[in-house]
């Protein structure tokens, strides 16, 4: 049903070696406890990862200080119309609502930010997500490319509206929709795809270091990024954090640990890839090319890269997207993909808790 619309979501067939980084070899290591700073965690993502970032930010707002949403809609976008199945809304209302419209493009085809903000308050009142008041001092970075025909700017507009209707001040929400970028995470690397295109690997050179911009908006002034990562990119066993066979999550994931974060408290940022950008599809291209590690190196940031892979049935996720419409319940009600107890969000939260846990000191004999 949704395979055709999802073809336009991020896809890539290239892989990049990790010769410049310290790598864990098979079998995968365990995610270490690093005594990371509590209440200094943030999240960002591209495309389906952006929808997940918004969902996770709202659901776990008591633990987070901000979010970056690049080409993504608001929390529970797929629930914008309670009369329509979320899977249908996800590939229409939440992407390009007017693509197949014969009657122009009225505003009611787009996500209803007013309805969703009210729904968030109700959902918080039921205890399914954290209290909305936690969001009011957070920072949110939002981006939409003018040439993005996958998740169009009108959809991303409603993400900004959603946060504003929940009480975030204008200064807390930075929204850039002025760049003629395609559907991509953007960088200032001349080796990346030209800015206006929408094509693999969906990482475009628009002369903007987006990773640095996201993290600066959330945390304030940061030191310049390093020229080359010098920390450890650790492949770890992600499956130990998963307790459902419907998550479509990969068995492994990655975490980047700067040298300074092995001996001192660091903040945590979760970077969530888009569809067909997981390690099972493209190796570490998204991890290495988006620029997060370089910023992390000089600013005491641990970067967590959770991973999803494609699955054909049980659940149906043929493009390896994050769940923002309900495949983790086989597209059947009751839908919980937007709640704290959603399988993917539970897994990510457990990974954060591990990083926040006191580091184990090994005595020297």
Would you please indicate which residues are annotated as catalytic (active-site) residues? Answer: 47, 148, 183
Q: Which two tokens stand for residue 216?
A: 């600066």
Cα separation, 8 vs 101, in Å, equals: 18
CA distances from 27 to 17, 34, 236, 252 (A): 18, 21, 9, 10
Answer for the pair 154, 73: CB distance below 8 angstroms, yes or no: no
Q: Which two tokens stand for residue 33?
A: 């406890």
Q: Which residues, at least 6 apart from 118, have a Cβ–Cβ distance to it below 8 Å?
A: none
CA 344 to chain centre: 12
Answer for the pair 270, 281: CB distance below 8 angstroms, yes or no: no
Burial class of residue 108 in the structure, from the number of CB atoms within 10 Å of its CB (0-12 exposed, 13-18 middle, 19+ buried): exposed
Of 59, 150, 111, 101, nearest to 343 by C-alpha is 59
Reduce the DSSP state of residue 203 to 3 states and report it. strand
Cα separation, 327 vs 186, in Å, equals: 28
Reduce the DSSP state of residue 124 to 3 states and report it. helix
How many Cβ atoms from other residues are within 10 Å of residue 208's Cβ? 17
Strand ranges of the sheet holding 193-194, from the earlier edge strand across to the other edge: 185-187, 203-205, 193-194
């Amino acid at each position: 049903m949704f395979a055709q619309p999802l073809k336009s979501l991020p896809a890539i067939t290239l892989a990049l070696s990790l010769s410049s980084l310290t790598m864990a070899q098979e079998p995968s290591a365990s995610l270490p406890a690093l005594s990371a700073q509590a209440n200094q965690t943030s999240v960002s993502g591209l495309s389906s990862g952006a929808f997940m970032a918004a969902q996770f930010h709202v659901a776990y707002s008591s633990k987070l200080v901000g979010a970056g949403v690049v080409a993504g809609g608001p929390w529970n976008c797929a629930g914008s119309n309670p009369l329509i199945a979320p899977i249908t809304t996800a590939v229409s209302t939440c992407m390009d609502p007017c693509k197949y419209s014969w009657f122009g493009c009225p505003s009611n085809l787009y996500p209803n930010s007013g309805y969703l903000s009210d729904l968030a308050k109700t959902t918080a009142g039921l205890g399914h997500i954290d209290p909305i008041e936690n969001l009011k001092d957070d920072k949110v970075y939002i981006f939409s490319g003018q040439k993005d025909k996958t998740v169009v700017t009108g959809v991303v507009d409603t993400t900004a509206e959603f946060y504003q209707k929940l009480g975030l001040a204008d200064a807390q929400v930075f929204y850039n929709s002025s760049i003629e970028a395609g559907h991509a995470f953007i960088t200032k690397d001349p080796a990346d795809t030209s800015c206006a295109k929408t094509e693999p690997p969906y990482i475009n050179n628009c002369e903007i270091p987006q990773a640095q911009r996201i993290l600066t908006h959330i945390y304030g002034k940061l030191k310049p990024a390093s020229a080359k990562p010098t920390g450890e990119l650790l492949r770890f066993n992600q499956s130990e954090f998963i307790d459902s066979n419907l998550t479509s999550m990969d068995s492994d994931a990655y975490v980047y640990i700067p040298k300074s974060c092995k001996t001192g408290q660091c903040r945590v940022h979760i970077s969530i890839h888009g569809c067909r950008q997981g390690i099972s599809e493209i190796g570490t291209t998204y991890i290495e090319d988006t620029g997060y590690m370089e910023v992390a190196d000089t600013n005491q940031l641990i970067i967590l890269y959770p991973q999803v892979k494609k699955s054909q049935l049980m659940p149906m996720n043929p493009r390896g997207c994050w769940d923002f419409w309900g495949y983790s319940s086989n597209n059947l009600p009751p839908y919980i993909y937007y709640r704290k107890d959603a399988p993917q969000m539970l897994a990510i939260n457990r990974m954060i808790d591990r990083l926040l846990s006191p580091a184990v000191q090994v005595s020297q004999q």
